[in-house]
Structure formats: structure tokens, C-alpha cells
């Protein structure tokens, strides 16, 4: 009896695992009514100069994590960002400019690891800037009426879903076409032409996976 229960449990675990893995593979894109690329980028990525302040809850797979306040300023090709503790101590400050790359202005241990800075900026660019380079196709995937699919010059595929739940979603697949990151906006509110999510959740998959839960404190159009 006990052996049967064990076998059934093992099968359930395996099947569940397979189902999860299947969901993480790049889905096929099927034709959909003609759709402009701008309808994706305008709905998801803020245009012009903005400043966002979020309460960020960072958690690793092993359960460790921390809560900080994030400041993100956007202008044409530049992202400025800062991480501040709730008590007001500035932990990290950096800027990214397309032409100049990443400039770290302040980094308190353990935020002084260059990989952390690169990863953080990569996440911010994925959230706030439309994908660059490569081709773009529109269509639909199971569970989503409209998708803009970008293939970037690093071999990645980025699906932008401008109408997911009550907001939008971005799925980033690595060169092996496996889901690497997903970003889900929730409770969007219209601010000018932009859909600003009250809540954002970024999930990074793989062995060093982590989750960023970002609750909007304020958004300023500059």
C-alpha cells in the first residue's frame, strides 16, 4: 500500500515537473489580426522622462532576501537608479547610457559586486525599455490575444503581451528558447500614454533564480 502511494506521489511530482518545464519553453506564435508594433511598446514601456519609486522586496530561492526602496529615472537613452534602505541609507547608485554603458556611482557591500550592478541594470532595462535590435513579429500565443515577439542580437526572444490580465507581461527566453525571466505588471493605471503598473513582479529562473516584487510608491512624469 505504502509503495503504491509512494509511486503515485513520485509520478505526480514528475508530471508536475514536466508540465512546469513545458510552460517555460517558447510557445509557437500563430497569426493574429494585423497589429502595430507601437501598440506593444506604447502600452508597456513609458515614453519620455519619468521617475518611479518602488518598494522592492527581493527574495532568493533559498528564502533569503531584503526590502529596499528603488528609484528609477528614465530619460531618452539613460536610466539612473538608486537603492535606498527604508532607514535612508543609499546602498547603490548607478546610471546606464546606451553610448557610455554602465557607470556605478556608489555601491555599499554586498551591492559592490559588478555582476549585481549588471544584473540590476539588465532587469531595469527589461522592465522600462523596449527591446532593441533584431526582428519583430506580431501574433498570438495560447492564453494571450496579442503578442509582439522580438528577437534580439544576443539570440534571445522577448514576448511582450500588452494585454495580460489587467495590465501587461514580458517573457524573456534565452538562446535555448527557455524562459529566463518573466515580468508581470498588475493593476495598471493610465498616466498619459503609458500604462503604469501599481505592482510589478519579476521572476528570474534557473539555479540562481530570484524574485523582485515591486510596489509603486509614486510615478512622476518629468
Partner 1 sequence: MKLHTLLIAFCLFIFTPLASFGSADRNQVHLHSIRADFVQEKHLKILVRPLISTGFFAFQAPRSLRWEYLTPVPSIMLMHNGKLNKYTKTDGQFTEQRGMGVDSMQFMLGEISNWLEGRFRENEMFTASFPDEKTILLKPRDQTLAGLISSIELKLADQRGILDTITIFEGTDSYTRMTFSNAVINKNIPASLFSQK
Rule CB under 8 A: is residue 93 a binding residue for partner 1? yes
Of 45, 212, 27, 39, the closest CA to residue 132 belongs to 45
Cell of 10: 513520485
Q: Is residue 90 close enough to count as binding partner 1 by CB under 8 A?
A: yes
14: three-class secondary structure by DSSP: helix
**Residue 109 interacting with partner 1 (CB under 8 A):** yes
> Min. distance of Cβ 144 from partner 1 in angstroms?
25
Report if residue 196 touches partner 1, rule: CB under 8 A: no
Of positions 86, 132, 176, 191, contacts partner 1 by CB under 8 A: 86
Question: Which backbone phi and psi does 176 adopt, to 5 degrees?
Answer: -90, 10
Task: Give the residue carrying C-alpha cell 541594470.
Answer: 121
82 lies in the site for partner 1, by CB under 8 A: yes
Contact 164/147 with Cβ under 8 angstroms?
A: no
What residues numbered 198-217 form the site for partner 1, per CB under 8 A?
213, 217
121 is a site residue for partner 1 (CB under 8 A): no
| Cross-sheet strand order for the sheet of 194-204 | 101-107, 90-97, 78-84, 65-74, 50-60, 210-221, 194-204, 179-191, 167-173, 157-164, 144-151, 135-141
67 binds partner 1 (CB under 8 A): yes
Confirm or reject binding of residue 88 to partner 1 (CB under 8 A): yes
Q: Verify binding: residue 60, partner 1, rule CB under 8 A.
A: no
- Is 51 a binder of partner 1 (CB under 8 A)? yes
Among 71, 104, 144, 177, binds partner 1 (CB under 8 A): 71
In the complex, the smallest distance separating the C-beta of residue 59 from partner 1, rounded to whole angstroms, is 9
Amino acid at each position: 500500500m505504502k509503495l503504491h502511494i509512494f509511486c503515485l506521489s513520485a509520478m505526480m511530482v514528475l508530471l508536475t515537473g514536466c508540465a512546469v518545464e513545458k510552460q517555460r519553453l517558447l510557445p509557437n506564435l500563430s497569426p493574429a489580426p494585423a497589429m502595430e508594433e507601437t501598440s506593444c511598446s506604447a502600452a508597456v514601456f513609458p515614453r519620455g522622462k519619468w521617475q518611479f519609486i518602488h518598494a522592492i522586496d527581493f527574495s532568493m530561492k533559498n528564502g533569503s532576501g531584503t526590502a529596499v526602496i528603488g528609484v528609477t529615472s528614465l530619460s531618452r537613452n539613460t536610466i539612473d537608479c538608486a537603492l535606498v534602505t527604508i532607514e535612508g541609507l543609499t546602498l547603490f547608485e548607478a546610471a546606464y547610457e546606451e553610448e557610455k554603458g554602465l557607470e556605478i556611482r556608489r555601491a555599499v557591500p554586498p551591492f559592490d559586486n559588478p555582476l549585481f550592478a549588471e544584473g540590476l541594470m539588465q532587469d531595469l532595462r527589461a522592465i522600462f525599455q523596449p527591446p532593441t535590435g533584431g526582428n519583430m513579429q506580431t501574433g498570438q500565443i495560447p492564453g494571450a490575444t496579442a503578442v509582439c515577439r522580438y528577437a534580439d542580437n544576443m539570440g534571445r526572444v522577448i514576448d511582450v503581451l500588452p494585454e495580460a490580465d489587467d495590465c501587461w507581461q514580458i517573457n524573456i527566453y534565452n538562446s535555448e528558447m527557455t524562459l529566463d525571466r518573466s515580468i508581470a505588471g498588475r493593476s495598471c493605471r493610465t498616466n498619459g500614454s503609458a500604462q503604469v503598473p501599481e505592482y510589478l513582479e519579476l521572476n528570474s529562473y534557473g539555479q540562481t533564480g530570484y524574485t523582485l516584487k515591486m510596489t509603486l510608491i509614486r510615478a512622476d512624469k518629468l
